[in-house]
Chain A
């Protein structure tokens, strides 16, 4: 049997035309025009998820969905700090991460709607969004299941001496599953170019983190593996960007992986069946006041950007999302026979 060598995926190869351009080698602090582009990106993702929420409520989307409104700064900030060729794996709450890598809005909608032109041809849905062409290597729906895979993509980079890094997003709940510990241990002893980004939204599904985890700071898990760590405000886009850029630099230099704990908050419940009544009203209020989009707008305002310019970005994002949805809704369903393809290479 002749083996077929698959070309290695290249990130950024098919970024949508209006996606923020990814610089060849991001600096720890992005220049102002780039910061504006990232604001627009957060707006797009927020709007995308609001639409998803509506589509689910209307019953036109199957299964479940896991929204991340309020957590956008983590994925947008982290992915913006990557270079072309770097790879990203994430969880079933992965809309933001996949879009942050540059997956097109319309094909991402298409996948969630189960359309033929969806990112995965309608075979994956909301929980498995993948766009290999931009380095979004997969969204995995088994908690912690993708951390070992991120070790593998990092291993491949080191094996080939490419200097590519592998970013892996996961939630706070995943830090209590075995695969997390095996992965951090392996990544550390092999000094793999991996960046583990824990989006600590304070709740593992419905349970507050304090009821499931005996330590106050999840970043401290890194100590057990002799790994570099950082605990940051995940709602501060620039802090996320800076931290990931530094971790990437270390990883590329062969200095090993980093565990980043990004504190953030999901505005909605765990999944569409969860109204999140278990969260105290004051806590929700406090975090809503720290909305990452508002925080970043404030920072840009302080840097002298006019309000009108910021508002224009929000409007543009809203339009882009609406147009993408319209395109996606117009696409055909997959042919029923398509279910038999893609089992085998």
Chain B
């Protein structure tokens, strides 16, 4: 066991994937000698060389397309899109080619591409470098969506993503790069589609991902002091979605709070609440609550951005109201 940062866990996962399989290669902007805009690829170019770690021009469409073409020919590309917001620049590749290629050819090709993107608010990057972009892809069947919150999950999910036979969008939260956690000497892969029950509790089920997991964990401490025990679930992947774990918890607590770093409309939280209300109406003893970000672009100034996404206090307040209903 060593304590590593979320960033180091990602680097280690790529190093191990490159070492394990000659078909794995890495491409993106400044990922080679520069080590990546977020230093997530540091040391990989030195270790694996220019054949397998490739700098590209600032050409997101070319990055994604090259990854797709290489993947259908049997390689396993890891493509880095520097900021998740830039997914909009190559949306055709991500929305029309990557997820549909297999389907529209009747299964003649597999497209084992992993696209890594730095995601999320909190760093003062303002509106065009801060939007948690994972929700953009929810309505596109054919994409797996991975949203790790801890170093161990960042490692394990990335290894699983690279080995997965299907396209995977892997979102790295910028606010978590410095987060430290334990990583075993031989870290485990984490299967896609298995939520993590972070904390057990009988009063309210709280479902989260990424930064919200950590804010909800802080809220849980305050709530426990007031005698409210939450069951904290980190989904880890949005597609596949581990509904089973959420339902099992809801059946136990009969109360649901979802906390997400995104506005409500078209989000995974809104889908989850709607689905559970439709399918499990009888399980609820209180209306489900969705603690969401404001319905605005992400603002720049510190005090503005701090209030944009759900704070631990807002999560705690919502849980209190739900528990008291």
Which A residues form the contact surface with B (CB < 8 A)? 1-9, 87, 89, 118-124, 128, 130-132, 137-138, 140, 142, 145-157, 159, 166, 178-179, 182-183, 185-186, 189-190, 341-345
Contact = CB atoms under 8 A, between A and B. Distances in A.
A8 B102 CA distance: 15
A344 B63 CA distance: 22
In the A-B complex, the 8 residue pairs with the smallest Cβ-Cβ separation, listed nearest first, are: A148-B65, A152-B69, A121-B106, A156-B73, A345-B165, A120-B106, A342-B107, A182-B59
B66 A132 contact: no
29 contacts: A1-B192, A3-B164, A6-B74, A6-B165, A123-B106, A124-B106, A131-B108, A132-B72, A132-B108, A142-B97, A148-B61, A148-B62, A148-B68, A148-B93, A149-B68, A151-B62, A152-B73, A153-B72, A156-B69, A159-B51, A159-B70, A159-B75, A179-B65, A182-B61, A182-B62, A186-B56, A186-B62, A343-B142, A344-B165
A148 B74 contact: no
A142 B99 CA distance: 14
Interface of B: 21, 23, 25, 51, 54, 56-57, 59, 61-77, 92-93, 96-97, 101-110, 112, 141-142, 160, 163-166, 189, 191-192
Contacts of B189: 1
Contacts of A137: 69, 72, 109
A342 B68 contact: no
Given A148-B61, A151-B65, A152-B69, A119 B93 contact: no
Contacts of A2: 163
A140 to B, nearest CB: 7
Contacts of A128: 104-105
Contacts of B56: 186
A343 B64 contact: no
Contacts of B69: 89, 137, 148-156, 166
Given A120-B104, A342-B106, A345-B110, A5 B74 contact: yes
Given A1-B163, A7-B74, A342-B103, A149 B97 contact: yes
Given A1-B164, A6-B110, A148-B93, A120 B66 contact: no
A1 B191 CA distance: 6
A154 B160 CA distance: 26
B106 A119 contact: yes
Nearest to B21: A3
Contacts of A157: 73
B96 A145 contact: yes
Nearest to B76: A3
Residue among B21, B62, B76, B92 with most chain A CB within 10 A: B62
A305 to B, nearest CB: 38
Contacts of B21: 3
A159 B97 contact: no
A121 B70 CA distance: 24
Contacts of A342: 102-103, 105-107
Given A3-B164, A148-B62, A148-B64, A156 B75 contact: yes
Given A137-B72, A138-B72, A156-B70, 9 more contacts: A1-B164, A146-B65, A146-B97, A150-B65, A152-B67, A152-B70, A189-B57, A345-B102, A345-B107
A65 B181 CA distance: 56
A130 B61 contact: no
Given A1-B192, A159-B51, A342-B103, A152 B25 contact: no
Contacts of A151: 62, 65-66, 69
A48 B245 CA distance: 54
A179 B92 contact: yes
Contacts of B191: 1
Contacts of A130: 104-106, 108-109
Nearest to A344: B166
B166 A345 contact: yes
Given A1-B191, A159-B25, A345-B165, A124 B104 contact: yes
B73 A8 contact: yes
A66 to B, nearest CB: 16
Contacts of B102: 342-345
A132 B163 contact: no
